[in-house]
Structure 1
């Protein structure tokens, strides 16, 4: 069933990981399977059997050619450094080459207590598995780099997170699972050769255009490339109102993918200080802080790479600092590109940033829904008759009325018909996101009633985010006051 494995990470020195076989579960049952993704990875589905698939995706049987391992890494968690974290419940089976020639990790998440579990049970409740499945696939459908969900399996066992909950295992696919914290793991041990080997591995796998670089220039260029991807990634998050919730360095992918969907959420009413994570008591990872936390995390990567950038520490610090200081400009350029597309502006103008910021301020004061505001602006671009439904989103209608006039004056500088402009905007503004209350309803039905129908329907909706979906308009509406979900939780 599985395509052939390559084992590049497993061929790195053994201090990079711990060998670990998934712990078998009592009664595996396949509850979700991403067939298009499986086909793109080269899986043989000609005689697909859900019961057999459950055995594979639970880890009860290890596929031929796989060499399961738990990866080592460290990380800053809410600003505090932990020198030894690692995969506490995840097992990397190996890598496969997909039909486009890209190397992809296949990992089982929730596969048992590893040497990095730090007293945990190494398992996952069903709720966080389904949340990650929904949100990661929605992110991919919106064109945002993300890990992917291949399969979800219930275990027939319970895990205790305050109360007993049904257990599950997620099969996750990623460009790789290497994090900023992976570099920190070796740097904290003074293992310069480990940092170097990891950097060379990352360059070969994710940044082959840097292979010809030599000496310290090679590793400074790696930092620059990672920074560019992070600036672009976070700009895309900001464009859809996504709040990661745990932007620790161990949750910052070195290849620029969104990874680890624990206490994450999409905003409804726009508030730049919005926090959903139950463990982010100080608001460190609030929506508006995300770009600057990414820069902070990049500085931690720079610290790990300093000895490779230059033997002279002062010179290495100077070079890395100069690079990191360019992040703000990079991120703003990426963010403005995202926001211009959302507002139908293809021809950059100096006043665009002011116009965008004025809209966001109006949305904040008017308590307007982030997603619906931008989607209805697309309708307003096509016809002023749609203004009423847009204005209705604002508790203070005067907040948007004046802005609309300025925006229309700005659109007069764009080319194409009103219909073409509106269609371009609809391709940049999702109609459907995984709204918190809908996600919670789907999770509750699955966990409490063993009913996966709401999950399956919601998955269909959010993986077609830009399409009008007649009959499913209710999935686009914000939560009623009694439905609102203000806190999301980590599954560990």
Structure 2
């Protein structure tokens, strides 16, 4: 259990003013059954002391936390959805309920999903299926264990309503989720202000992000501050894209309204983990062209950044913004190399040697003779059987040569397991089945414990 931090409410979003959000009322639900609460992350923001009754009040009925927002706020934004601009977006089934500081003095948001209709619901019911809530728990737990900068599932309540959905058997059970995030400001938030040609609001938003999300006091003129923010966001999102690849994760919907300014991954709909390093693997059945396939995720994020650069060009000259955007691929490569080595349990060395090792890892995995999870599990667990096993190909033998003498500690018992902890889509369905049929949550909770155990092993 993490050491509990003092609770410090700090609703800085109010500095932006009413042009950025709409006060809303939460839905009223017939049931309040707690299905998940993340005690460790609650401790990180001083909310681990709450009783079960208090948790229901704050995270299912959404009564205000002390010294915080007095009512929920649905944030306004625009965005490109599969490269088509949509000015009708905004928080349609969620809202911001609180902002607070963690032990590192970061400003964090508590936001919701499935909490009812808002002015931006666009004919939707504003609800979240229980299966959708379970899938978000699994995504965030797995990504956190694999070292991806991700939002955290904070609480999940079953709400007792019957929902109808076209993509799963209906009626289905309902839920409401609270997530803990490092900000909910998106590229789409900037796009809205640029669309409205409100340069004063763009400058205000830029300063807010620098000060409260990146911890930097805005310096210089308006152009300098815009250039500085773009530089920070480009570096953060390069790390995000690299971490997706190393984890074998496919987000599924990397629209510009789903890219956080902090580079934190969030909002999990049709996600999947690809078993193999398959660049064409997609997560969403409706992604018919493979726009957001596994191998095109860096391209997709880079494209979204170009939209942010276009917004900031209302504040700064285009040339320095373009120079940073051109440099993004190099930043992606610089982030990818240490992430690959970290998952392999190899300490960083000379840049040239590490880059060569990373290239061989990608080449070996791209041959698709072994799954991503199996490779990293076997090799970090010292299971390379040599030239007679599944790692006989030249690429794997080259990896063995390059890492000889550089292997790290493998003291955690996880590395002695028979198989890696993975999350194929078939297992997601298998974990949902006992919940749907018998209200049996034990397999899900056991899987969460196994994921966290893997995370402990990878962190050593």
TM-score scaled by length of structure 2? 0.89
How far did residue 406 of structure 1 move? 2.0
Secondary structure in structure 1 of the residue aligned to 2:367? helix
Matching of residues 133-152 of structure 1 within 5 Å: 133-152=137-156
Secondary structure in structure 2 of the residue aligned to 1:117? coil
In structure 1, what is the equivalent of residue 90 of structure 2? 86
CA–CA separation in structure 1 for the residues paired with 2:189 and 2:79: 8
Matching of residues 250-289 of structure 1 within 5 Å: 250-289=257-296
From 186, 189, 196, give the equivalent of 1:182: 189
Flag the 1:405–1:361 CA change in 2: closer, same or farther, 3 A.
closer
How far did residue 44 of structure 1 move? 5.5
Q: Deviations over 1:312-341 (max 9, x none)?
A: xxxx22221111100111111111222233
In structure 2, what is the equivalent of residue 476 of structure 1? none
How far did residue 366 of structure 1 move? 4.0
CA–CA separation in structure 2 for the residues paired with 1:462 and 1:15: 41
In structure 1, what is the equivalent of residue 303 of structure 2? 296
Secondary structure in structure 2 of the residue aligned to 1:156? strand
Is 2:112 the partner of 1:98? no
CA–CA separation in structure 2 for the residues paired with 1:21 and 1:203: 30
From 346, 349, 362, give the equivalent of 1:347: 349
Per mean C-alpha deviation after superposition, the further-off stretch among 135-144 and 170-179 is: 135-144
Is 2:437 the partner of 1:448? yes
CA–CA separation in structure 2 for the residues paired with 1:57 and 1:215: 39
CA–CA separation in structure 1 for the residues paired with 2:300 and 2:242: 13
In structure 1, what is the equivalent of residue 3 of structure 2? none
Flag the 1:441–1:61 CA change in 2: closer, same or farther, 3 A.
same
From 60, 71, 82, give the equivalent of 1:58: 60
Q: Deviations over 1:267-315 (max 9, x none)?
A: 1123121112122111001111111211111110011111211xxxxxx
In structure 1, what is the equivalent of residue 327 of structure 2? 326
Give me the CA root mean square deviation.
2.6
Flag the 1:143–1:77 CA change in 2: closer, same or farther, 3 A.
same
How far did residue 179 of structure 1 move? 0.3
Secondary structure in structure 1 of the residue aligned to 2:171? strand
In structure 2, what is the equivalent of residue 406 of structure 1? 398
In structure 2, what is the equivalent of residue 25 of structure 1? 29
Flag the 1:341–1:29 CA change in 2: closer, same or farther, 3 A.
closer
In structure 2, what is the equivalent of residue 435 of structure 1? 424
CA–CA separation in structure 2 for the residues paired with 1:217 and 1:277: 39
In structure 2, what is the equivalent of residue 372 of structure 1? 374
Q: Deviations over 1:358-403 (max 9, x none)?
A: 44344343442111112112234xx75x348x934xxxx6xx4323
CA–CA separation in structure 2 for the residues paired with 1:218 and 1:272: 37
In structure 1, what is the equivalent of residue 365 of structure 2? 363
CA–CA separation in structure 1 for the residues paired with 2:343 and 2:106: 30
In structure 2, what is the equivalent of residue 485 of structure 1? none
| Conserved? CA contact 1:378–1:423, under 8 Å | no
CA–CA separation in structure 1 for the residues paired with 2:236 and 2:227: 15
Q: Deviations over 1:89-123 (max 9, x none)?
A: 00211201223322211112111010000110000
From 388, 391, 396, give the equivalent of 2:389: 391
| Conserved? CA contact 1:106–1:173, under 8 Å | yes
Secondary structure in structure 2 of the residue aligned to 1:169? strand
CA–CA separation in structure 2 for the residues paired with 1:339 and 1:139: 15
Secondary structure in structure 2 of the residue aligned to 1:152? strand
Q: Deviations over 1:198-229 (max 9, x none)?
A: 11111111223352233311110110010000
CA–CA separation in structure 1 for the residues paired with 2:224 and 2:325: 15
CA–CA separation in structure 1 for the residues paired with 2:457 and 2:325: 41
CA–CA separation in structure 1 for the residues paired with 2:239 and 2:148: 10
Flag the 1:319–1:121 CA change in 2: closer, same or farther, 3 A.
same
Flag the 1:101–1:379 CA change in 2: closer, same or farther, 3 A.
closer
How far did residue 10 of structure 1 move? 2.8
Flag the 1:63–1:333 CA change in 2: closer, same or farther, 3 A.
closer
| Conserved? CA contact 2:144–2:455, under 8 Å | no
Per mean C-alpha deviation after superposition, the further-off stretch among 93-102 and 269-278 is: 93-102
Per mean C-alpha deviation after superposition, the further-off stretch among 275-284 and 362-371 is: 362-371
Flag the 1:410–1:42 CA change in 2: closer, same or farther, 3 A.
same
Matching of residues 210-229 of structure 1 within 5 Å: 211-229=218-236
Secondary structure in structure 1 of the residue aligned to 2:120? coil
In structure 1, what is the equivalent of residue 447 of structure 2? 458
How far did residue 52 of structure 1 move? 4.4
Q: Any gaps of 5 or more consecutive residues in structure 2? A: 1-5
Secondary structure in structure 2 of the residue aligned to 1:21? coil
CA–CA separation in structure 1 for the residues paired with 2:85 and 2:368: 39
CA–CA separation in structure 1 for the residues paired with 2:10 and 2:353: 51
Q: Any gaps of 5 or more consecutive residues in structure 1? A: 310-315, 470-492
Matching of residues 65-214 of structure 1 within 5 Å: 65-66=68-69, 67-162=71-166, 163-209=170-216, 211-214=218-221
CA–CA separation in structure 2 for the residues paired with 1:88 and 1:262: 14
CA–CA separation in structure 2 for the residues paired with 1:108 and 1:296: 27
CA–CA separation in structure 2 for the residues paired with 1:357 and 1:71: 42
Secondary structure in structure 1 of the residue aligned to 2:401? helix
